[in-house]
Amino acid sequence: MRRMIALFFLFSLPPFFVQAQDVKTQAQDVKSWAAKTAEYKQWLDQLQGGELKFWTRLDGSRRPHKLYVGEGFTKADFKDQEQFVEVFSHYLAGHPDKYMLIDLYDARTGEAIGEFGWGGFKLFNASADAAVETQEQSPAAPDTPAAERIPSADKPAR
């Protein structure tokens, strides 16, 4: 009988040890997620104000979130727009590996211009927006590369 009890305790101990190690790694993961989310927030705050003006406000009262984008977003190239929305989605989800659904709206007109969801990043009127952009650009204005519009040194790594 004693031998059976000893074997029972012997075989039941490893799961306790494994479980304790899992809790420790989960705590470390939460700390790294919090650090990454803080990095995302800092980068997004840089893009909200000043000359970049990628976004103006966020309406989180319903799902999907409504993100109102500014002039900097419409002037950026598609790759920068996609990275911005993806990072914003990670920030809203509070996890670097998860996403939050986002509907994109023009801050000037309030019109829906795109979305980020299960199908990825999508702009509704990309060709119409590009035509308006080319008409608004004056020939005398220097063309600023997209890499200079978004602070690349501060871009969060995905």
Structure confidence by residue, pLDDT tens digits, 50-69: 777 899 999 989 889 999 99
- What is the pLDDT at residue 73? 94
Helices 2-48, 78-93: axis angle to 10 degrees equals 130
pLDDT > 50? residue 32? yes
What is the distance between the alpha carbons of residues 70 and 48, in angstroms, rounded to a whole number? 8
Tokens, residue 53? 């003006």
- 10 domain-assigned: no
- 133 domain-assigned: yes
Segment 95-134, tens digit of pLDDT: 888 999 999 999 999 999 999 998 899 999 754 444 444 4
- 98 domain-assigned: yes
What is the distance between the alpha carbons of residues 94 and 38, in angstroms, rounded to a whole number? 9
- What is the pLDDT at residue 115? 96
- 124 domain-assigned: yes
What is the distance between the alpha carbons of residues 6 and 44, in angstroms, rounded to a whole number? 58
Cα-to-chain-centroid distance, residue 148:
20
As a whole number, mean pLDDT of residues 134-154 equals 46
- 60 domain-assigned: yes
Q: Please tell me the total count of domains within the chain.
A: 1
- pTM (two decimals): 0.66
